[in-house]
Amino acid sequence: MSNCKDDQEEEKEVLLSIYEADECFKQLDDQTYQYRIGDAGHFKSFLLEIKWGDTYPEELPTISLELFFNKHIPSDIKSSISSKVTAEADQWLGSAMTYTLFEFAKENADELMVDQTENVIIQEAPVEDKVEHVQVAKIKEKKVQLTKAQKRRIADRTDFKGERPRGWDWVDIIKVCEL
């Protein structure tokens, strides 16, 4: 048992050093790790979660895709990905495999998500017949706050109506010809 804990601590240190600056990697606790495969918001991206048991790496970790991030993926594709990653994990039983499984998913992402289409309608969610009308609040634009000096300069350049005096942008022909 203590040998498994030592292996887990060692693998944890290795994972944290490898994925230190990787925004796709996330450690939830000492035994649960997640990695996002693909670009966020892309229809072929998914989040792979690997959870170690007490006797990991002597036993297979729990591989899960049942996360909110993966709501756009049908359950048959999720189970297909999970079974392929589990088959890969079987080969590495008895050794540290979390990094290997994440890399396997990254390298084979196109093959794993080959059946995923952009316009997937999720059958699992209940369909409602009612259409709810939502009122959208108007966003008020913030007015620019001017200082007294700024207001005074604007007032000096304009007349009492807020318009500039006639000829303010005229060019003095004599001054231009002298140059």
3-state helix, strand, coil in the chain (%, to 5): 35, 10, 50
Do residues 39 and 26 touch, judged by C-beta distance below 8 A? no
Q: What domain count does the chain have?
A: 1
In this structure, is residue 117 part of a structural domain? Answer: no
Residue whose C-alpha is closest to residue 33's, from 62, 4, 59: 62
**Is residue 173 included in any domain, yes or no?**
no
pTM: 0.63
Instruction: CATH number of the domain at 65, please.
Output: 3.10.110.10
Output the pLDDT for position 122: 44
* Sign of torsion over alpha carbons 114, 75, 36, 58: negative
Is there a domain that residue 105 lies in?
yes
Please state which of the ranges 14-23, 37-46, 98-107, 123-132 shows the lowest mean pLDDT: 123-132
Q: Is residue 61 part of a domain?
A: yes
| Within a domain: 56 | yes
pLDDT of residue 123 exceeding 50: no
Domain that holds residue 56: 2-112
Domain assignment of residue 54, yes or no: yes
What pLDDT, in 10s, does the model give residues 1-59? Answer: 568 888 889 989 998 899 888 898 998 898 899 999 988 888 888 999 999 998 888 89
pLDDT at 38: 87
